[in-house]
Structure 1
Amino acid sequence: MNSLLLGSFPNKASLVAPGGSCERSKIWTNNCLTIGTLGSYAPTTASWPKRKIKKEYNFLRFKQSSLVFRCEGIEGGPTCQECNRKHIVKATSGQSFESEPPAFDSKRILTSVKNSLDAFYRFSRPHTVIGTALSIVSVSLLAVQKSSDISPLFFTGVLEAVVAALFMNIYIVGLNQLSDIEIDKINKPYLPLASGEYSVGTGVTIVASFSFLSFWLGWIVGSWPLFWALFISFVLGTAYSIDVPLLRWKRFAVLAAMCILAVRAVIVQLAFFLHMQVLFQ
């Protein structure tokens, strides 16, 4: 009977070996339960001698108490899943000593630069820029009296006038957009301020910066016709767009037409012609 009962259990070393696998723990627990069951049903068959039955019963009780003690010792400790979980947490919480190099996405940078240039191109209203540049170049050529006038001085004067006028042109069209954001959301939703690509603060910064640059360049050049052309354009452009009492002349057809004619037909033609003549003197 002893050999039959003990032969169903694994050897002692495999049952109590520290750090055993989960399978061993499961087998050990099952075996403990089996021993407990068998211990509670001690053999009482009348055909066996009483002494033999008593010895076997005492042996099973002793074996059961020792096995249950060892099972409780194993069950009281951390399970294999808990140990594995602790090792995983430690492995994931540890800092990696290898740092990956930052990804340099040149395509994304080029796309961002392209979008920024496109937004500024639309903000500057290119048709007005082209018209201003062509007007200044054509008027400057009218001031040429002989072939020797086509010199580096001539190209320098034309460049100064074109750049200063374009700066002022961006101020005028930018102020107009700042004053018409709600209207442009319906009529011209592709403009940066109306579409939300530019914030109001960005628009104000661009407008103020270009007006300052325009006056600064006109002052540095030292040409009074150029400076007065910039100043008169500034005044008329502001009165045309800004929404304050007695201004915003674009609301009235006659005043709006007079502002445009004064800048395009008089100021640009006369002032820049005089600017080139000052350079030739």
Structure 2
Amino acid sequence: MESLLSSSSLLSAAGGGLCLRKQNLKLLSLSGNRVLRCNVVAKPKSRNNLVSRLDGQESSSLFLLCSRHKSRFQANATTGQPEAFDPKSKPNSFRDSLDAFYRFSRPHTVIGTVLSILSVSFLAVEKVSDISPLLFTGILEAVVAALMMNIYIVGLNQLSDVEIDKVNKPYLPLASGEYSVKTGIAIVASFFIMSFWLGWIVGSWPLFWALFVSFILGTAYSINLPLLRWKRFALVAAMCILAVRAIIVQIAFYLHIQTHVFGRPVMFTRPLIFATAFMSFFSVVIALFKDIPDIEGDKIFGIRSFSVTLGQKRVFWTCVSLLQMAYAVAILVGATSPFIWSKFISVVGHVILATTLWTRAKSVDLSSKTEITSCYMFIWKLFYAEYLLLPFLK
């Protein structure tokens, strides 16, 4: 099948080195070959990093060695969109398999889930004697069940977004072809079953309902069925993330420790209310920011994110402003604490985070997808840092 690759790359060899030049290129795609999009203009110094073969005008294939994930991909000029991992380079070791699963699980969300549950659980601690094996057993039950549900949700999202991820995130196992769709379905189904099984045998209703509501919202967010796939609608997508990250995680897992582990009556404390309100702001920021670097693929596949409709720059600075407002409120709340140590840690900690965010935001080049993505991961680090501060707010 003949196709035109616009604004892509023309390979040329000169002086033993290879370079990539942006140019329209008309090529033939070979039967059975799949595509990996390459947007980066680079000048590799070694043939180990880039090997090419041009056979006149008959065919062309480009092999890229992805050093970050130690995976080799094959790209042929068709539509310029990635489709599959080179079958000859499928993972052949335990380390490769572990690396693929690590990327499939979206580790930044895993870390966020673990830290949030740990932090919220300690909000229920009222005295030193509460810190016991019973507490840690309850935390472990919640963390394991939630991580399994987390992997179900992010895995389902990847299964539903394979074509989009070939443009936005070609390094993910399903988008690259390291995982087949059947493998992805098997992983997602297994973790879904194990999560609910553990939630049921633990016997904690707050934990079970946290898993159930997360399952409903995570499924509705991603799956491509009538009236579902809510991620297509920017406001609804943001509300889904807010509901899970800001409300369910804070309240349900707190109640799991408060009522199931400690056997105490339901009580909404000042730190819990603050944590829920603050994380509502943070969840909105994450929901908005995550689409900023993915604007290209979202446009192609009709995902009407705020970044697509309002523009990357406007959404970027809206996110920064929302977080600065949240930090200002956190500083005021911390300053009113009756405990000197709580006041000091809360105020100083949030001043540092607010200053660091502002400094980082001003240095971001919004024309660079790499820098925007890096800043998005920095936002997640601020998210982690906030959960480290919350237990000190009294």
TM class, shorter-length: 0.5 to 0.7
User: SS at the partner of 1:148?
Assistant: helix
Task: Using structure 2 for the length normalisation, give the TM-score.
Answer: 0.43
- Specify the code of the residue in structure 1 equivalent to 2:240: C
Task: Using structure 1 for the length normalisation, give the TM-score.
Answer: 0.60
Answering whether residue 196 of structure 2 is matched by residue 215 of structure 1, we say yes
* Higher strand fraction (1 or 2): 2
User: SS at the partner of 2:148?
Assistant: helix
- Specify the code of the residue in structure 2 equivalent to 1:170: I
Q: 2:131 pairs with 142, 145, 150, which one?
A: 150
- Specify the code of the residue in structure 1 equivalent to 2:116: S
Answering whether residue 118 of structure 2 is matched by residue 137 of structure 1, we say yes
Distance 2:166 2:189 in 1: 23
Distance 2:217 2:190 in 1: 18
Deviation at 1:111, TM superposition (A): 6.6
- Specify the code of the residue in structure 1 equivalent to 2:93: S
Distance 2:126 2:197 in 1: 30
What RMSD over aligned residues (CA atoms) do the two structures have, in Å? 1.0
Deviation at 1:210, TM superposition (A): 0.2
Task: Spell out the pairing of 1:195-206 with structure 2 (5 A cutoff).
Answer: 195-206=176-187
Distance 1:228 1:138 in 2: 19
Distance 2:119 2:92 in 1: 37
Distance 1:214 1:165 in 2: 7
Cross-structure match for 1:280 = 262
Distance 2:92 2:124 in 1: 44
Unaligned residue ranges in structure 2 (runs of 5+) = 1-90, 264-394
Deviation at 1:186, TM superposition (A): 1.1
Task: Spell out the pairing of 1:159-174 with structure 2 (5 A cutoff).
Answer: 159-174=140-155
Unaligned residue ranges in structure 1 (runs of 5+) = 1-109
* Higher helix fraction (1 or 2): 1
- Specify the code of the residue in structure 2 equivalent to 1:219: W
Task: Spell out the pairing of 1:190-269 with structure 2 (5 A cutoff).
Answer: 190-269=171-250
Distance 1:277 1:218 in 2: 16
Distance 1:258 1:240 in 2: 10
Bigger RCO of structures 1 and 2 (CA < 8 A, at least 6 apart):
1
Cross-structure match for 1:24 = none
- Specify the code of the residue in structure 2 equivalent to 1:265: A
Deviation beyond 4 Å, 4+ runs, structure 1:
none
Count of aligned pairs between the two proteins: 172
- Specify the code of the residue in structure 1 equivalent to 2:175: A
Deviation at 1:197, TM superposition (A): 0.4
Distance 2:164 2:174 in 1: 11
Cross-structure match for 2:388 = none
Deviation at 1:195, TM superposition (A): 0.5
Distance 1:262 1:115 in 2: 35
Deviation at 1:225, TM superposition (A): 0.2
Distance 1:272 1:184 in 2: 32
Cross-structure match for 2:156 = 175
- Post-superposition Cα deviations, 1:55-87, rounded to whole Å, max 9, x if no partner, equal xxxxxxxxxxxxxxxxxxxxxxxxxxxxxxxxx
Answering whether residue 124 of structure 2 is matched by residue 123 of structure 1, we say no
Distance 1:111 1:131 in 2: 30
Distance 1:256 1:187 in 2: 18
Distance 1:153 1:199 in 2: 41
Distance 1:271 1:144 in 2: 15
Percent identical residues: 80
